[in-house]
Amino acid sequence: MKAICSQIVFFVIYALICLVSLLPLPVLYGLSRVLVVLPMKIAGYRRTVVIANLARSFPERSYSEIQQIVKEFYRYLGRVVAETIWLSTASQKSVMKRFSLKDCHVLESLKKQGKSVVVMLSHMGNWEFLRVFSCPLQENVCGYNLQQVHVIYQRINSLLFDKLMYSFRKRYPYCHLIESRNVARYMAKHQDIPGIYFMISDQCPGPIGKSIAVRFLEQPTLMIEGPEVLARKFGFAVVYGVIRQAGKGRYGMHFTLISDNAAAEEEGVVTRQFARLLEQDIRSDSPHWLWSHKRWKRTPCNKA
């Protein structure tokens, strides 16, 4: 009976999201200001976390400057919610018009060398636009065909929300999602087949397992070691990827080479370079990173 009720709840919410997603994106932006941004401000959604993260990352900025970033950040978060809902049913052409690939020569060069690539991403821009890589109209991703493109995801604690997000992300037939706990096994099995592995790499590491200590945004920071460890293990190339806003509801993904063979790098080099490049992007576009994430709940001084 419980399982049946869960299924009913899932289909009701799924149908509601699909129905709302049919509204034009400008209308969804307006609704998000009223139904998402305003309630977050009133309820103070993680406001303490956001302000603390910003103050520690930018000690040189005044209180008024921090408050301005907070204000812009909540507006940005509302837009991300609106765009994510819109993506649920948006046409392929509409999605592809709003998302473009820049600096493709970086990946094209690695493809010519027969290399597999780990693209280290962050929570900048709107990462949900990654599903564009599985649109049938998308012939390839910088030279790699769609069957060679893999997006790594981490399960969400809420089973219902996880199922919803997985269903929407798997909307297109070519979407190859790999759960983070299965990616090492998959890479080992397919290491001789060139491919791209898009991995969000700026989460706070879990309490169990290794992590890599870096200096990031004026603070001692622990970074997850998975992307670097896997790339070094299999001799993959590593590329820094960032989704930058190119206008309201429009994004471009930019690529920067970190290493054409991670196995040849000393431990920590890849992750420290990722942190350095990400910090540059955050400093140049501060409101558009996920400041509400408890990024520093574990530090090199306190791993528990």
Q: What is the pLDDT of residue 297?
A: 87
Q: What is the pLDDT of residue 152?
A: 93
Q: What is the pLDDT of residue 304?
A: 47
Domain map (residue ranges) of the chain: 2-288
pTM of the model: 0.92
DSSP for 144-204 reads EEGGGEEEEE---SSHHHHHHHHHHHT-STT--EEEGGGHHHHHHHTTTS--EEEEE--SP
CA distance 256 to 277: 9
Q: What is the pLDDT of residue 303?
A: 57
Q: What is the pLDDT of residue 170?
A: 82
CA distance 272 to 265: 12
The single-letter code of the amino acid at 233 is K
CA distance 238 to 227: 9
* Helices and strands: H and E segment counts in the chain: 11, 11
CA distance 275 to 214: 7
* pLDDT tens-digit profile, the chain (304 residues): 766 787 888 889 999 999 999 999 999 999 999 988 998 888 888 999 999 999 999 999 999 999 999 999 999 999 999 999 999 999 989 999 999 999 999 999 999 999 999 999 999 999 999 988 878 778 889 999 888 999 998 888 888 888 888 888 887 766 688 999 999 999 999 999 999 999 999 988 887 668 999 999 999 999 999 999 999 999 999 999 999 999 999 999 999 999 999 999 999 999 999 999 999 999 999 999 999 998 898 878 665 4
> Using the 8-state DSSP alphabet, how is residue 206 labeled?
P
Q: What is the pLDDT of residue 176?
A: 85
The single-letter code of the amino acid at 92 is Q
What values do phi and psi take at 156, rounded to 5?
Answer: -90, 145
172 and 131 Cβ atoms separated by less than 8 Å? yes
CA distance 246 to 172: 25
Q: What residue spans of 33-114 are helical by DSSP H? A: 38-43, 47-57, 63-87, 92-97, 105-112
The single-letter code of the amino acid at 137 is L
CA distance 185 to 80: 32
Give the count of beta carbons closer than 10 Å to the beta carbon of residue 273: 20
111 and 255 Cβ atoms separated by less than 8 Å? no
